[in-house]
Structure 1
Amino acid sequence: MSELLLSGVTAGYAGRPVLRGLSCGPIPHGRVTALVGPNAAGKSTLLRAIAGLVRAKGSIRFGDRELIGMSARERAHHLAFMPQALPQDTALSVIEALLGAWRALPDGASWGSEAALLDRVGKVLDRLGLGDLGMAQLQSLSGGQRQMVALAQAIIRDPPLLLLDEPTSALDLRRQLEVMGLLGELAREGRTVIVVLHDLALAARWADCLLVMDHGEAHGFGPSETVLTPGMLDDVYGVEARIEPCSQGRRTLLIDGVSRRAPPP
């Protein structure tokens, strides 16, 4: 089982640095860690830096392996990345999309036969409630359905490190709960699961740990019950809020208004 450790990570885009020497961790395996923070805080950039999709400096260690500088072929054995959305004009069926995600694994990884691979594809689709969409074309699916297919592509290779960028953004309430529950199951099976979330209520309910980001830096990291506080929400989001138990004992986020000391937008 491997933990993720970030040390002095700097990353960004041409002429626009985003992450500024970010250090955090270790991010534990067997848990769901949510990256939260306001818009442009660097959440998606950090996820893409871990995935090797943007150039980064510093150190990103997964277990005893350094991810920065690792080839894409080798990295594919250790992690999978789920983007915010799949392209809408892809002329593939759902099954073909999952087969492609598996066959992208280097070194000829195989389940022994085409029949065994198709069986695995079917089990992944059933686990996500997509069993009746296997032959559907991606371009005919709704945004939420494509998002679920992107999640299926991410987990088909059974990666030890799972990176998900806003996996619930296009989903209805029921699907949001199903996906967050599934991510918890995947983590408890021994994976390191890191997910970008904008919905703090979802993060409070489902994430074991929070990494709060602000202006490309780590504002706080730890168990959600210690990190999600009125003080953090005031400092980072500029809102006055309360964290109170609901009738079932779960912590509930209540926003009262804009912080009186928050600067104008």
Structure 2
Amino acid sequence: MKSFANKVIVITGAGSGMGRAYALEFARHGARLALNDYDPAGLAETVQLLQGSDAGTVFSQACDVGDRDAMYAFAADVKQALGNAHVIINNAGVGGGGQPVWAMTDADYERTLRINFFGVVHGTRAFLPQLLANGEGAIVNISSVFGLVGTPGASDYCASKFAVRGFTESLMVELEESPISVHLVHPGGIRTNIAKGAPNGEEFTRKFLKTDPAYVATEVIRCIRSGKQRIVLGHQSGQVWLLSWALSLERRNRLLYRMLKGMLDPGQYDRVRRRAS
């Protein structure tokens, strides 16, 4: 897909961060926008920022991407308001519980997977028939560099982002001979509020979340146009990508532990060390 003028672009998680950046960037290309977010206030703020832009019609609806029925209803409402979608960007996500495996609850895992993984599944499956009906389109699924390596205190988040990776890579093969392009994004440290409220969230944000979301939006649009399927970008993403394949798993795990040890709760890990000794 080369031009986005007057095309219907669906963006989940559009109330802040990368989702808002995608909306603003596609607006510059004259697209019609269908925006979703769980937070109605953030979504309304994005819609307000789009006023006076080059965007065509802007349709917005607040709902939970992890709710299958709500997402299918959103897809039907988008079709009624704007026509069939041309691009779906499954961007919505949460940061996870931020605790080691033994300190997490079942509810933590269920919530993170419901939003981060099943939100992508629901968004893809709800809008794919519209893309196919148009005879052209693109699916952009947002994983993470934590979909390339596992990190401490993020087992639920990593599991969800590895799942997005597996789902999307399978979809790429299935749609190989179709007019639909599929793109998998592994963002590194992007300056968003993903770590807000997490243990050591402020420190993590200060150290690692440095790349402007607008840069990500620009690069993703470029890759949709070129057909590039895997997109790894953002602060320290290159280093993580290298770690994911260049080192043995044992060496990689030791290195990651040393890098992140200072941000871990000593009390949680002291309990494990005592039991193992």
TM-score when normalising by structure 1: 0.35
Q: TM-score, normalised by structure 2?
A: 0.34
User: Normalized per residue, which structure has more strand?
Assistant: 1
Give the number of the structure with larger relative contact order, counting CA–CA contacts within 8 Å between residues 6 or more apart: 1
